[in-house]
Amino acid sequence: MNVIVEKPSQSGKLTAKDWLKMAEFELSKSGISAVRVEPLAKKLKVTKGSFYWHFSSRKELFEKLLTDWRIRSTNAIIERLNNANLTPKERLKELFLLPQKNLNHANGGALELAIRNWSQSDTTVKKTIKEIDTHRLAFISDNFEALGYDKCQAELKASCFYYTMQGFKVVGIDQSNEHLEQIFEILL
């Protein structure tokens, strides 16, 4: 079930990162309201005395949870951009198949889903989500432009492309779709 998050950082001592990992796991699974310090402590086999050493409050954990995800989400896309030795089409394909081979921790799809739900009750989260969506859309649109579409067409294609990606991330969380590559071809 949760093999990934099982063992803390080897040594007996925990780090803030260990707490964040576990919090992320819980967030993905049960939503932000279920991210509570004492249950987390229990899962990490310590008491909350440890938590309040690494964090000042539950609120701070939430903030770091968000900023952590933000950095990883934007970097995960920018690293692809840095692979300059890829054609635009290859770049888009990599991006499109990224949720499939989830290089994130447990399940990037479930995590993003939880964060989007979280954004319904937190304006800061909502703002972050919007920025990330915009950022990703811009990246995709650029690649469509590099493929020969004019700006207007590229934006349209990009919207369709991104919505499909996100839709698959959400709907297909637990199902492996074999004809994802065929869908990709449709979207070009």
Partner DNA sequence: CACTGTCAATACGCTAGGGTATGCTTATTG
Partner DNA sequence: CAATAAGCATACCCTAGCGTATTGACAGTG
Residues at the interface with a second copy (CB under 8 A): 28-34, 110, 113-114, 116-121, 126, 129-130, 133-134, 137, 156-157, 159-160, 162-168, 170-175, 177, 179, 182-183, 186-187
Nearest distance from C-beta of residue 104 to DNA, angstroms: 24
Nearer to DNA, 48 or 135 (CB): 48
Expressed in percent and rounded to 5, the helix, strand and coil fractions of the chain are 70, 0, 30
Task: Identify what 168 binds: a second copy, DNA, none; CB under 5 to 8 Å per kind.
Answer: a second copy
* Exposure b/e, 134-164, CB count within 10 A at least 16 = b: eebbebbbbbbbebebeeeebbebbeebbeb
Nearer to a second copy, 67 or 121 (CB): 121
Q: Does 30 bind DNA (CB under 7 A)?
A: no
Task: Identify what 116 binds: a second copy, DNA, none; CB under 5 to 8 Å per kind.
Answer: a second copy
Nearer to a second copy, 89 or 126 (CB): 126
Amino acid type, 178: E
| 94 within 8 A of 80, measured Cβ to Cβ | yes
Q: Does 6 bind DNA (CB under 7 A)?
A: no
CA 67 – CA 60 distance, rounded (Å): 11
Q: Does 49 bind DNA (CB under 7 A)?
A: yes
Residue corresponding to tokens 């779709």: 177
